[in-house]
A and B are shown apart, each in its own frame.
Chain A
Amino acid sequence: MSESGIGAAVKRREDFRFLKGIGTYTDDINQPGQAYVYFLRSPLAHGTLSALDTAAAKASPGVLAVYTGDDMAEMAGLPCGWLVTGKDEKPMVEPKHPILAHKKVRHVGDPVVAVIAETLEQAKDAAEKIDLAIDELPAVVDMRKALAGGVSVHDEAPDNMCFDWELGDKAAVDAAFASAHHVTKLDLVNNRLIPNAMEPRAAIGAYDLATEEHTLYTTSQNPHVIRLLMGAFVLGIPEHKLRVVAPDVGGGFGSKIYHYAEEAFVTWASKQVGRPVKWVAERTESFTTDAHGRDHISHVEMAFDANGKALALKVDTMANMGAYLSTFAPCIPTWLHGTLLAGQYATPAIHCNVKAVFTTTTPVDAYRGAGRPEATFLLERIMSKAAAEMGMDQAELRRQNFIQPDQFPYQTPVAVVYDTGDYEASLNKALELASYAGFADRKAAAKSRGKLRGIGVASYIEACGIAPSSLVGSLGARAGLYEAATVRVNPTGSVSVYTGSHSHGQGHDTTFAQVVADKLGLPLEQIDIVHGDTAKVPFGMGTYGSRSLAVGGTALVNALNKVIDKGRRIAAHLLEAAEGDIEFADGTYTVKGTDKQKTFGEVALTAYVPHQYPIEEIEPGLEETAFYDPKNFTYPAGTYICEVEIDPTTGQTEIVQFVAADDFGNIVNPMIVEGQVHGGLVQGIGQAMLEHAVYDDGGQLLTGSYMDYCMPRADDVPSFQVATTCTPCTHNPLGVKGCGEAGAIGAPPAVINAVCDALAEYGVDHMDMPATPEKVWRAINNAATPMAAE
């Protein structure tokens, strides 16, 4: 391994600008003459607009324009990128999602009026002069009540059902349950979360009258997707007249995938008012307008034989869509959830039913893990619950149900084919790191200190490297999910890479450059990674689903191979040798078996200064583009072990040890991979112990700021022990699988399994997330009181 190539823990190249405070986030960009928009948003969850008078606002100082839903009623709504087809071939209900609410508001935060003024304060002053009356309708918050009908969020869905979908062989599952020795049942909630990237969303629209070109600066994980969705489906702007720039972006976690109303509005409005228009979310706005995550209610049953072999799994889930369908919302509880229910186990029969429900809440979409945390949580919870019920060790029950290494490729009963894995290897690694065998002693020691100690195991699988276009097309995706890369070799041999993947914390400037350095034998200083601008990058589907290296990295490798091949032809000419006799290694083309060679730089220069050049056979220049469409998902997997200590007097739970053993396939930069795991773990621990988006019955978000929505802080979490095992992905050239979401997927069940284990002596066999001190305290006291009375 070279110091800067694949496998090296290279320090990040992007760090300098962030550490110096000289990065460029969207809010750092200011356009000459820019105006500011303020959105007056619905304070109510549900209602009809009975009066809306903006005359006074329009006359307010500094105001340039005021727009309402009426002004945009003829325009298309925000599109949904995935059509899910339910039982009996019934397509999902897909109501219009207007840019500004029209006639009706459907969640707190729904934008009603946009005020554009010289300054933000003037826009806010004017907004206070708007006469808005809303006839309140009953809120629809609880999914069970929503499905019972009575109040409809959309007329098109009287019972608020978006779709009723199923996957798997129900008859086979029923038969397996009929013959089961033991059945474990579990009702659980996967708590609603708010992504909370630290950079609030922002957007600047700028229209150039001279070129008729629109530019949108936006906080996006996928600028080309925004260009496609907004240009083609909302505003009718062709691609060549629409540039979307996503500069430095301060975290995404899924919430910055989607096309949001504010982006379309500023792009449109900039042309209307003839000025750049800027919008930056206040955190309070982020809470009610960034797409939320999770929010499932599930009933799960798992059948086992007398030896603890899993026979079948059935899952009934209600998934909250919120008030409108966000860009990828329908695929999250279906194709990214149902398909992962086999987990790491050779369970022969699985059936999953998902009912997607409209409510008067903020739209729900992918959040780090997206469907896979929900699948993993219910499966890994029921495995540990089953182990406890059957008197088996939770690690051993898993081990004996694992898909074995010789079973790959493994066709699961839920559509997907795992290419490779070694689940026992990561389990063993985790057990060893966690000193699993010594747990009983630690528990006893804790007891002597008055603490309840518990241990939780969770073995997750996920599907990353999203996704083969033909497959996802057949499942309802309205886009392909390939990736593109251009490698531009400059005349003096430096390289500029244009990638459709987008980095908003993942460190592509470093890892992608390592791939180039490795393949071309160049120093990192000679390599530039360019992303985030549709005017520079040929195309791209962006970054989510831990896909950057598996899909974008493969496109890069393919483009690099094209460059190397063309260089080989040029070198053959220069060295007067047959192309087949030229070898390329460490940045040098060599005639096999000789010392005749040309450096990559010499070849590049020749390509651009083609004086002695086979111009009839080879074009000048050295620049290649590759589009790569993956052959399959990748399947990272691993085992996490969490150990907690609970103070029974307060219910406070402390994570005293957390071990993660992951199989991500090959690793380009282990330092960055570890960082991704750490971050994912804390989001997972946050879900398990701290975070919960709570609405009251009236549809008001009770956790609408950091005063009430509990973000994990440094003193909430421990340091981690992380390790990796490796079975390289079999279908991409780097052998990589993806590491961005694992922590958020595997951590929640590990934590809750540990909490339940600690509380087992109180008869606790499940606890919904987050396991707050009061919830834990009640679990202890509800059990303790009757025992004390005996």
Chain B
Amino acid sequence: MPDISLEVNGKQVTEAVAPNTLLVDFLRAQLGLTGTHVGCDTSQCGACVVHMNGKSVKACTVFAMQADGTEVQTIEGLAPGAELHPVQAAFKEAHGLQCGFCTPGMVMSAVDLLKTNPNPTEAEIRSWLKGNICRCTGYHNIVKAIQIAANNMSQKAAAE
């Protein structure tokens, strides 16, 4: 099996992988990072969203081999230890999660949105979330959470 080397959550990782290994399976089974979930097999639910070189991608639709030489960030790498990233904190604040299964993908997607569009409108948020399905929340509080996060992050950025 060929080796791949990549940075996962800031740590350099070198592992042998079978070529047909999906990035999500590499993260879950080989690295034990089970925060990234699998909710479908047609690349639609978004439970597996991670960042690859800073952009959100569906880890179920990327081969581990394609991630060779990249920087991958998963939900586990978003904030150290007991800390929450502002988006994670806003999801808690606004009750933007219920069963928690779609949450890692949803949060990773939202973090990417706010990187490219720090003050999105409600319509922009809803449109961006097309690739993330949540069955519990009805999206209402997810949208609210992202608005809160945007607000908190831009205030913080302004203060700095």
Chain A residues within CB distance 8 Å of chain B: 11-12, 14-25, 27-28, 196-200, 248-251, 253, 282-284, 504-507, 671-672, 674-675, 678-683, 705-707, 711-715, 717, 719-720, 743
Q: Flag the segment in B41-49, B51-59, B62-70, B152-160 that touches A.
A: B41-49
> Are B34 and A28 interface neighbours, CB within 8 A?
yes
Question: Which of B33, B98, B102 contacts A507 (CB under 8 A)?
Answer: B98
B106 to chain A: closest CB distance in Å? Answer: 10
> Are B135 and A251 interface neighbours, CB within 8 A?
yes
Cα distance A680–B130 in the bound complex, in angstroms: 19
Question: Which of A19, A200, A715 contacts B129 (CB under 8 A)?
Answer: A715
Cα distance A17–B76 in the bound complex, in angstroms: 10
> Are A199 and B33 interface neighbours, CB within 8 A?
no
Question: Which of B37, B40, B98 contacts A675 (CB under 8 A)?
Answer: B98
A513 to chain B: closest CB distance in Å? Answer: 16
Q: Which residues of B contact A28 (CB under 8 A)?
A: 28, 34
Q: Is B8 positioned at the interface, with any CB of A under 8 Å from its CB?
A: no
> Are A672 and B95 interface neighbours, CB within 8 A?
yes
A710 to chain B: closest CB distance in Å? Answer: 11
In the assembled complex, 10 residue pairs joining A and B whose CB atoms fall closer than 8 Å, in A order, are: A11-B92, A20-B76, A22-B35, A198-B102, A675-B136, A683-B135, A711-B44, A711-B133, A711-B135, A715-B127
Contacts A199-B99, A706-B42, A714-B130: A720 and B37 contacting too (C-beta < 8 A)? no
> Are B44 and A682 interface neighbours, CB within 8 A?
no
Question: Which of B95, B99, B126 contacts A715 (CB under 8 A)?
Answer: B126
B153 to chain A: closest CB distance in Å? Answer: 16
> Are B138 and A253 interface neighbours, CB within 8 A?
no
Contacts A19-B92, A198-B47, A504-B99: A25 and B37 contacting too (C-beta < 8 A)? yes
Question: Which of A21, A680, A705, A706 contacts B138 (CB under 8 A)?
Answer: A680
Minimum CB distance partner of A19 in chain B: B88
> Are B37 and A678 interface neighbours, CB within 8 A?
no
Cα distance A675–B136 in the bound complex, in angstroms: 8
> Are A705 and B137 interface neighbours, CB within 8 A?
no
Q: Which residues of A contact B23 (CB under 8 A)?
A: none
Among B76-126, those with CB < 8 Å from A are 76, 79, 84, 88, 91-93, 95, 97-104, 107, 122-123, 125-126
> Are B40 and A674 interface neighbours, CB within 8 A?
no
Q: Which residues of B contact A23 (CB under 8 A)?
A: 35, 100
> Are B100 and A18 interface neighbours, CB within 8 A?
yes
Q: Which residues of B contact A282 (CB under 8 A)?
A: 41
Q: Is B150 positioned at the interface, with any CB of A under 8 Å from its CB?
A: no
Question: Which of B28, B99, B140 contacts A198 (CB under 8 A)?
Answer: B99
A572 to chain B: closest CB distance in Å? Answer: 42
> Are A743 and B40 interface neighbours, CB within 8 A?
no
Q: Which residues of A contact B91 (CB under 8 A)?
A: 15, 19
A125 to chain B: closest CB distance in Å? Answer: 12
Contacts A199-B101, A671-B95, A719-B122: A21 and B135 contacting too (C-beta < 8 A)? no
Cα distance A22–B132 in the bound complex, in angstroms: 20
Cα distance A730–B115 in the bound complex, in angstroms: 51
Contacts A19-B107, A706-B133: A251 and B98 contacting too (C-beta < 8 A)? yes
Q: Which residues of A contact B38 (CB under 8 A)?
A: 27, 200
Minimum CB distance partner of B123 in chain A: A715
Q: Which residues of B contact A20 (CB under 8 A)?
A: 35, 75-76, 79, 84, 88
Cα distance A19–B123 in the bound complex, in angstroms: 24
> Are A197 and B99 interface neighbours, CB within 8 A?
yes
Q: Which residues of A contact B129 (CB under 8 A)?
A: 713-715
Cα distance A282–B22 in the bound complex, in angstroms: 15
A127 to chain B: closest CB distance in Å? Answer: 16
Cα distance A504–B122 in the bound complex, in angstroms: 28
Cα distance A719–B38 in the bound complex, in angstroms: 27
Q: Which residues of B contact A707 (CB under 8 A)?
A: 42, 44
Minimum CB distance partner of B132 in chain A: A714
> Are A250 and B100 interface neighbours, CB within 8 A?
yes
> Are A713 and B133 interface neighbours, CB within 8 A?
yes
Q: Is B72 positioned at the interface, with any CB of A under 8 Å from its CB?
A: no
> Are B74 and A21 interface neighbours, CB within 8 A?
yes
B118 to chain A: closest CB distance in Å? Answer: 19
Prevailing SS type, chain A contact patch: loop
Q: Which residues of A contact B143 (CB under 8 A)?
A: 714, 719
Q: Which residues of B contact A284 (CB under 8 A)?
A: 41
> Are A15 and B97 interface neighbours, CB within 8 A?
yes
Cα distance A146–B122 in the bound complex, in angstroms: 48
Minimum CB distance partner of A705 in chain B: B42
> Are A283 and B39 interface neighbours, CB within 8 A?
yes
> Are B76 and A21 interface neighbours, CB within 8 A?
yes
Q: Which residues of B contact A15 (CB under 8 A)?
A: 91-92, 97, 100
> Are A678 and B34 interface neighbours, CB within 8 A?
no
Cα distance A711–B130 in the bound complex, in angstroms: 11
B141 to chain A: closest CB distance in Å? Answer: 6
> Are A250 and B99 interface neighbours, CB within 8 A?
yes
Cα distance A249–B34 in the bound complex, in angstroms: 14
> Are A743 and B138 interface neighbours, CB within 8 A?
yes
Cα distance A622–B98 in the bound complex, in angstroms: 33
A745 to chain B: closest CB distance in Å? Answer: 14
Cα distance A679–B96 in the bound complex, in angstroms: 11
> Are A505 and B139 interface neighbours, CB within 8 A?
no
Minimum CB distance partner of B77 in chain A: A21
Known: A11-B95, A678-B141, A706-B44. 10 other contacts (CB 8 A): A198-B102, A248-B99, A249-B99, A250-B102, A672-B95, A682-B139, A711-B135, A714-B134, A714-B139, A714-B143
B90 to chain A: closest CB distance in Å? Answer: 10
Cα distance A14–B100 in the bound complex, in angstroms: 9
Cα distance A283–B75 in the bound complex, in angstroms: 22
> Are A706 and B98 interface neighbours, CB within 8 A?
no
A509 to chain B: closest CB distance in Å? Answer: 11
Q: Which residues of B contact A22 (CB under 8 A)?
A: 35, 76
A480 to chain B: closest CB distance in Å? Answer: 27
A667 to chain B: closest CB distance in Å? Answer: 14
B43 to chain A: closest CB distance in Å? Answer: 9
Q: Which residues of A contact B141 (CB under 8 A)?
A: 674-675, 678
Cα distance A507–B97 in the bound complex, in angstroms: 10
Cα distance A197–B38 in the bound complex, in angstroms: 12
Q: Which residues of B contact A12 (CB under 8 A)?
A: 92, 95, 97
**Which interface residue of B122, B132, B140 has the most chain A CB atoms within 10 A?**
B140
A194 to chain B: closest CB distance in Å? Answer: 11
**Which interface residue of B44, B84, B138, B143 has the most chain A CB atoms within 10 A?**
B138
Q: Which residues of A contact B123 (CB under 8 A)?
A: 715
Q: Which residues of A contact B136 (CB under 8 A)?
A: 198, 251, 505, 675, 679
Question: Which of B44, B97, B135, B142 contacts A18 (CB under 8 A)?
Answer: B97
Among B2-40, those with CB < 8 Å from A are 28, 33-40
Cα distance A672–B99 in the bound complex, in angstroms: 12
Question: Which of A18, A250, A675 contacts B137 (CB under 8 A)?
Answer: A675
Q: Which residues of A contact B126 (CB under 8 A)?
A: 713-715
Cα distance A734–B106 in the bound complex, in angstroms: 35
> Are A250 and B138 interface neighbours, CB within 8 A?
no
> Are B97 and A21 interface neighbours, CB within 8 A?
no
> Are B101 and A250 interface neighbours, CB within 8 A?
yes
> Are B93 and A198 interface neighbours, CB within 8 A?
no
Cα distance A715–B125 in the bound complex, in angstroms: 8
Cα distance A717–B122 in the bound complex, in angstroms: 11
